[in-house]
Amino acid sequence: MIATAEHAVQRTSRAWIPIAFAMFAVGWGANQFSPMLIVYRHELGLSAAAVAGLFLIYAVTLVPGLLVGGRVSDRYGRRAVVLPFVALSPVATLLLVIAPRDLAVIGVSRALAGLCSGMVFGSATAWVQELSHGKGVRRAALALTAGFGLGPVVAALLAQWAGDPLQVPYLPHLVIGPAAAAFLLRTPGTGAVPSVRRGWPPAAVRTWSFWLAIAPAAPMVFGSVALALVVLPEEVTSPRTLSAGFAGLMTALTFAAGIAVQPLARRMPAAYGIVAGLCCAAAGTGLAAVAVRDGDRALAGVCAILLGVAYGMCLMSGLRQVERLAAAEERGAVAACFYVLAYLGFAAPYLAAGLGAVTGRTGALAILAIAALALAAWTAGYAAWSAIRSSAPIEHATES
């Protein structure tokens, strides 16, 4: 009897693993496409506008998926939302393998990948939190970061040295994706609270704390990544020397730094973690202006590390703030709203291009660095004001 009870507890304590693996797999499938944009541009002769359009298609379906998925999973349970879209994620990859040179099919694939990401990320984050007993933020952030990082690195390496750069890079996800869906089949669902009446947006999102303490810094989560993975590789190399291999190296540096810093972010008060992340974003973007001016690839690598630290700090600290604000019955919807704001950061390359048309490339990056520093000052000021107002520390609870 005792052994049976211990076995049940052990199974429950490990129930979060398949969900985290599902986040990893969907993150892999979503981001494996990033270094492939270089390959498509060379192999298919695509214009810069066409490449930007492929990226935009993903975002167009991602945001509605986030907003719908989180709210529906709060209403009907996590499993009902996460499982089918984890299963659909490798279908999006399969389309890329079947029709590697058909631009319309590639567009459909990206739309499906965006929808899967949106439906899964917010819902699965809440699901992991519910099964992790205080460690959910760390586990969700690590799973997502690992998928975002390893997917494009493996794809870039295979694209650089494999025989068929338009098909072989996608084969690993055709193994990982179905395996993740199979593991989820035996995972218990949680989170369905049909009796609770919910408004929209969620109550936590209607608070000043969300919009003044979390929202301003959220775009720097993926804004930092976009600068490191999209802007820097293009700016420090020429079109002739730009390669999927170098893009993969920048990806590896960025996400390795993002993973490495997360334990530190977990131990810091969340508000201070956001401030530290924004300061790293400012430093990385400021150095990027110098790297772009001099065409210095080594310095660009240093910038990728700093921007990766910014990503890891802002993601972990932002999710901790969300967990603190959100009630259990709206956790998925609030996490999804945070991810929506975070994904706005992928507009950073377009913002840099627009500013660059006026101020030049280095001037644009300098302006973005100053903006990140201003956000850090704002967040620090608001945190200090909140502490004074409540006559208590901002936050001292840490995850075990």
What's the burial of 291, exposed, middle or buried (CB within 10 Å: 0-12/13-18/19+)? buried
Give domain 9-190's CATH architecture: Up-down Bundle (1.20)
Q: Which CATH superfamily is domain 203-400 in?
A: MFS general substrate transporter like domains (1.20.1250.20)
Question: Could you give the angle at the alpha carbon of 63 between the alpha carbons of 207 and 156, nearest 5°?
Answer: 125
Tokens 């099964």 label which residue?
131
Nearest to 331 by CA among 76, 67, 126: 126
**Is residue 2 scored above 50 in pLDDT?**
no
Helix axes 16-31, 103-132, angle to 10 degrees: 160
Which residues, other chains included, contact 41 with Cβ-Cβ below 8 Å and sequence gap of 6+? 48, 51
Give, as one character, the DSSP assignment of residue 195: T
Count of other CB atoms within 10 angstroms of residue 269: 18
Per-residue pLDDT at 92: 96
First to last CA, the chain: 30
Per-residue pLDDT at 349: 85
Do 129 and 137 form a contact (C-beta atoms < 8 A)?
A: yes
Do 253 and 304 form a contact (C-beta atoms < 8 A)?
A: yes
Amino acid present at 303: C
Q: Tell whether the torsion through CA atoms of 126, 131, 132 and 133 is positive or negative.
A: positive
Per-residue pLDDT tens over the stretch 332-347: 889 889 999 999 998 8
Per-residue pLDDT at 143: 93
Which residues, other chains included, contact 272 with Cβ-Cβ below 8 Å and sequence gap of 6+? 317, 383, 394
Single pTM value for the model: 0.84
Do 183 and 22 form a contact (C-beta atoms < 8 A)?
A: yes
Which phi and psi (to 5°) does residue 163 adopt?
-70, -40
Element (H, E) at 390: helix 361-390
Do 120 and 26 form a contact (C-beta atoms < 8 A)?
A: yes
Count of other CB atoms within 10 angstroms of residue 196: 12
Domain boundaries, given as residue ranges, for the chain: 9-190, 203-400
C-alpha 397: how far from chain center: 25
Per-residue pLDDT at 198: 59
CA distance 215 to 383: 13
Segment 288-304 mean pLDDT? 93
Tokens 């390795």 label which residue?
256
**Is residue 5 scored above 60 in pLDDT?**
no
Per-residue pLDDT at 55: 76
Exposure letters 59-85 (e unless 16+ CB within 10 A, then b)? bebbbebbbbbbbbbbbebbbebbbeb
Extended beta strands in 48-101, E state:
none
Query: How much of the chain, in percent, has pLDDT values that exceed 70?
Result: 90
Segment 157-168 mean pLDDT? 86
Segment 144-168 mean pLDDT? 88
- DSSP assignment of 200-223: SS-GGGGSHHIIIIITTTTHHHHH
More reliable by pLDDT, 198 or 57:
57
**Is residue 45 scored above 60 in pLDDT?**
yes
Do the first three CATH levels of 9-190 and 203-400 match, i.e. the same topology?
yes
**Is residue 111 scored above 60 in pLDDT?**
yes
Length of the chain equals 400
Per-residue pLDDT tens over the stretch 191-204: 455 545 556 788 88
